[in-house]
Structures are given as C-alpha cells and as structure tokens.
A and B are shown apart, each in its own frame.
Chain A
C-alpha cells in the first residue's frame, strides 16, 4: 500500500517534471533506458524503420488480433463525418485512416468520391524545419508520421485498398506539424504518442491545429487496473513478445523497447491531467481490455 502510493508519487513527480521541464530537461525515457532527448527520436526512428515491414503482422500476433477490435471501437468513438477535416498522427501504416474512410463509405456513401483539389501536389510532403511556411491540408484525410518507411508501407496498403487518392501523406514530427492553426475537426493518434519525446508538445500541437469545437482522441496502451491481471500481462509481455519479435521481425530489441515504453507511459488519470493542462476541455478516458489500452478524449472549446 505504502509502496504503491510511493510509486504513484514517483509517477506524479515524473509527470510534473515532464510538464514543467520537458522543454529544458536533458534526458528522457527510451523504454527503461535514460537517453539524451535528441537521441530518443533517432532511436525510435531506428525501431520503426526496422519493424515497418512486419509491423501489422506483429501487431496481430502479439495482441491475438485484439488490436483490430480496439481500433474498430476507436473509430466508433470518433464517429466519422464526411464534412470533417481529419488528421491521424503517427498513423504510419494507415490502420486508423483506412478504418475512418471505410466507415465513411459505409454510412455516407455519397461522399466517397475524391474531394482533394486537383493540384499536382506531391503525395508526400516533408516539412521538417520551422522556417518552411505552414501549409493547408490538401485532403479531408491526412496521415502524418515521422518515419518514411512506415508511410511507405501505408501508401502501399492504401493502393491495395483503393483509398490512395483520398489520403494526404505527410512526413513530419508530431511536435511540430506543418499545418496552419485551426485546420482540423478531429485529430487522432493511435499507439503513437508514447514514442514521442515530448508528449505535452504533441498534445499542444494537436490543440493548435484543431478548430474550435474540434476533438482530440488518443488510443494508447495504458496501465492495467487489476493487480492479478497486471501480473499475467507482465509475464506474457516479457516472455512472449521479444522472442516473437526476433522470430518474425528479426528484431528482439525493438520489441523489448515496445514493452518497456508501455510501462513507462503515464497512467490514465495522469495522462488526462496532461491533456487538460494543454487547455482541452471535457477530458475523459475509457479503458479497453481492463486498461491494457485506453481512449482519451478532449475538446477544444
């Protein structure tokens, strides 16, 4: 009991540290490792470059396909609307964006024609430096990711799914999106935010690009709320996931990073506080699978 409160104090202080000092602190977490901030991004990049090809297969195997259920439910919570400008950040291989568009097809069939303007703009825009001018989205569905390999896999899949011309692919850092303020009605980020170096900056950036009345939705691994289940979940993660990663993707280390990054991510209430601190209103969360994953939602009002 004392230990748990001690641990929660540690996490709270960690979170306040993240909140108040994230723009000036020198180190951050890469799984259980403590690394200099500028290194985290490079290391995460390396992870996703390595796993991109087998990313979807590994997700299916590790979660026994349950990630599909989570993502389907997530889209139900989003309730896509054809009039919206939608952005999915860290959306690499396109799982969420494809579900969004398919849901639109199902319930609003007349909107399935391409609505992107006929400009010959390049399909992937890369806007890294802050000196470049901000742009407007060229599609009602934008997928942004920092890793080119993941985007490449996503583009290939979009061709196979016949959704290619309805998506604008952007290679960018979630902490600094290349779009003007107030462009989007809905911003989603699924299983991506824990890989970012400064979570608060990502949420602030989400706030910036959302229109007034816009909604921020985050689907992410979170902390399990049941001690017994926590034990089995930990055992399962440590025992199965890195070896499966080695066998299928030839990469033990990336999947070791995965399970560690899940454990160091702030718990549901703390993450909700962080979102509130970025001026979002009506912030709440919903646990999925006993807290293995959680959907956090907030509105810009």
Chain B
C-alpha cells in the first residue's frame, strides 16, 4: 500500500489488530499515554468515520468542510484576532479557554493508521474541534468535563474510543462529581447530543464573532447545567 497522505503509515489487518489491542490495553494501564488513545481511536474508528463522512456529504456546511479541508492550528487561526473579539463570543471564549488551560491547537497528534485520505481528514477534523466542542458545551477540562464531552462525541459520531472513554471514564469520578454526573450532567448531555446538530458539520471558523448563546441556540443546544 502506498502512503496516501503525509503522516500515513500503511498497515495490514494483523498490524492494525495488534495496534488496536495493544493500544487499548496500554491506554488503560497508562492513561498518560495519549498517543495510545489516539491510536486506539484510529484503529477502531473506521466504520464510524465512514458514517460521519456520509452525514457530512448530505449537509451543506459539512460538505463544504470536506471539500475545503480546513485545519485548526496556530498558523491558520489568528489567536490575537480571537482575543480581540467581544466577551461572550465563540472566538473570545475559545481564546480564553486556551489561555486558561495553557493549551495550543497545535498539540493534536497527526493521523497515521487510517488508509483513506478523506477519512483521515475527518479524523483530524474531529480531533481539532475537540477543544471547540468543550467551549460550545461549556465543559471544563476536569475529569467530569472530559467524560461529558466524550459521551457527546460518542453519541454523535459513534466512535468506539469516545463511547468507551465516556463509559469507563465515569467510573473514575470522585463521589461529588459522580452525584452531579448521574443527576444532572448525563441526562443533559445525552439529550443534547441527540437533538443538537452534528458538530462535525459545523464550520466553526465562520462563527468566531457569534455570541455563544446565539451559537448554541442555532445548534439546538440546551444551556449546560450550572457549575458545582
């Protein structure tokens, strides 16, 4: 098999199986190995990516994303411009989010083990909008916030890594968070994931100036539950 895109590492079925099982085990044994989590997602996610691709094609904005293939990194997104936007807009909140948690959009691992260039792009897009998903849903980076976002992504996209992450991640919540999770967050996020627009179809880069409240209404997202 030839390399179909820059970071592609062609693999056969046996190699993918080894990677899938090995990365699954390593993700649990050593959760700090984020590369294992990425690889697990890539090796198990092809069916889900295909279904995501089909849903993108039928949506006008999603189709535009597939054609233009925008990427989100410090070269393509002007962070200073985002910082200058009024408070409460998507761009400003995103900029605040990155600054608060000391993140950069460059930190996403490249896709290597998906043997189709377009599906590899869909995977990449999914990774790059993860932080924006956090901002749009109003979820922080703590364990509860991550589990919530994983549930959301798992329901919307069907990626096994997200579903498993959401399900098993919740086991590790502390008692205070577990109570909140079961009573408030989980019902809210499941309802939101099912009724809101598919985030992979959202061309976030066109909506920086939009106030978050309006943006959420457009996507059919109910306001998130109050912080603890």
Contact = CB atoms under 8 A, between A and B. Distances in A.
Contact of A243 (B18, B33, B35): B18
A162 interface: no
A247 B24 CA distance: 10
A226 interface: no
A5 B9 CA distance: 33
A31 interface: no
B34 to A, nearest CB: 10
Contacts of B189: none
Given A246-B39, A247-B26, A247-B36, A252 B18 contact: no
B15 interface: yes
A244 B18 contact: yes
B222 to A, nearest CB: 40
Contacts of B220: none
Given A239-B14, A242-B15, A243-B11, A250 B22 contact: no
Interface in A17-50: none
Chain A interface helix/strand/loop/mixed: helix
Interface in A221-276: 239-240, 242-244, 246-247, 250, 252
B10 to A, nearest CB: 11
A247 B14 contact: no
A273 to B, nearest CB: 37
Interface residues of B, number: 15
B102 interface: no
Nearest to A251: B35
Contacts of B112: 252
B26 to A, nearest CB: 6
Interface in A192-246: 239-240, 242-244, 246
Interface string B8-35: 0101101100110011001000000101
Contacts of A252: 9, 112
B19 A250 contact: no
A241 to B, nearest CB: 10
B35 A250 contact: yes
A217 to B, nearest CB: 35
Given A250-B33, A250-B35, A239 B15 contact: yes
Interface string B112-134: 10000000000000000000000
A64 B15 CA distance: 18
Nearest to A243: B18
A243 B26 contact: no
B186 to A, nearest CB: 32
Contacts of A239: 12, 14-15, 18
Nearest to A247: B22
Contacts of A250: 33, 35
Contacts of B14: 239
Interface string B146-171: 00000000000000000000000000
B125 to A, nearest CB: 23
Given A250-B33, A250-B35, A243 B12 contact: no
Interface string B56-92: 0000000000000000000000000000000000000
Nearest to B17: A243
15 contacts: A240-B18, A242-B9, A242-B15, A243-B15, A243-B18, A243-B19, A243-B22, A244-B22, A246-B19, A246-B22, A247-B18, A247-B23, A247-B36, A250-B35, A252-B9
4 tightest A-B CB contacts, nearest first: A247-B22, A243-B18, A243-B15, A243-B19
Given A242-B9, A243-B19, A247-B19, 5 more contacts: A239-B15, A242-B15, A243-B11, A243-B15, A244-B22
